[in-house]
Amino acid sequence: MRIFAKNKLFLSGAVIVGVMIVLAVCAPFITKHDPNSIDLEKALIGPSHEHLFGTDSLGRDLFSRMLFGARISLSVGFVAVGIAVLIGMILGSMAGYYGGWADSVISRSIDIMLCFPTFFLILSTIAVLGPSIWNIMIIIGVTNWMGVARLIRAEILSLKEREFVEAARAIGASDLRIITRHLIPNGIGPVLVSATLGVAGAILLESGLSFLGLGVQPPSPSWGNILTEAKSTLGIAWWITVFPGLAILITVLGYNLLGEGLREFFNPQREEKR
């Protein structure tokens, strides 16, 4: 904790991420407005005491839509990265530990996946499966596991010949136990950094898809589809564009700062610099 307390990048990112998570979790208790309640008489009202972030073209309270949109955006980030990390750790650990044909097949699969433009691959898959929040989570996770697989493979390649692994083999530990209890816990640092940065990327990707109308579908609020609705009122209602844009900016910045702080913490040269 003392080390983290001295890490300004980590602290800054943790504060931003923590505030965003609290706001998303406590959304029903923070706002009294229904995010989907339409009141055309209050359409395009600017920020005020009653409506902190103003209202949109249908009279819906933008602050409440932002809070409930945070739930969706953060959920997509967490679930998508969780899927990517799970797939990447399973395949990467198999490639690094067993080597040989398993390593060749998995490594070539990673190379093939990296050849496809991720965004267009996601667009093609959504065109087949249809846009929904669960499809978005799964598709983003399934198309972004390659970086995690490479990281865990490299870590296990450097760890599997260490003395503690030889000792585990000597007492009859199974391959599964060696991988899950010895190798992965000791090589998890870079994966945590990648996962933290991956949440920021997933939130940006979901926002972009929702902005294009291929992500979370109305009336469910998402920061991306709120920006889509703001296009038609850009010249007369600046708040509908500014507040969702700032939310995306601040959230992504927070996860990037958190990831950079973790990268600095897990840096092997950290002890030498102290």
105-137 residue pLDDT tens: 999 999 888 888 777 878 888 888 877 788 888
| Contact between residue 88 and residue 80 where contact means Cβ atoms under 8 Å apart | no
CATH superfamily of the domain spanning 2-35+52-273:
MetI-like (1.10.3720.10)
137-173 pLDDT, tens digit per residue, is: 888 898 889 999 999 999 898 888 888 888 988 998 8
Residue 236 confidence (pLDDT): 86
pTM for the whole structure: 0.85
Return the pLDDT at 274. Answer: 47
Select from 133, 144, 92 the least CA-distant residue to 220.
Answer: 133
Residue 163 CB neighbours (<10 A): 7
DSSP state letter for 104: H
Residues of the chain falling short of pLDDT 50: 271-274
Q: Based on the number of CB atoms within 10 Å of its own CB, is 25 exposed (0-12), middle (13-18) or buried (19 or more)?
A: middle
Which pLDDT belongs to residue 242?
92
Domain ranges of the chain: 2-35+52-273
Closest residue by Cα to residue 209 from 142, 143, 126: 126
User: With contact defined as beta carbons under 8 Å apart, do 202 and 83 qualify?
Assistant: no
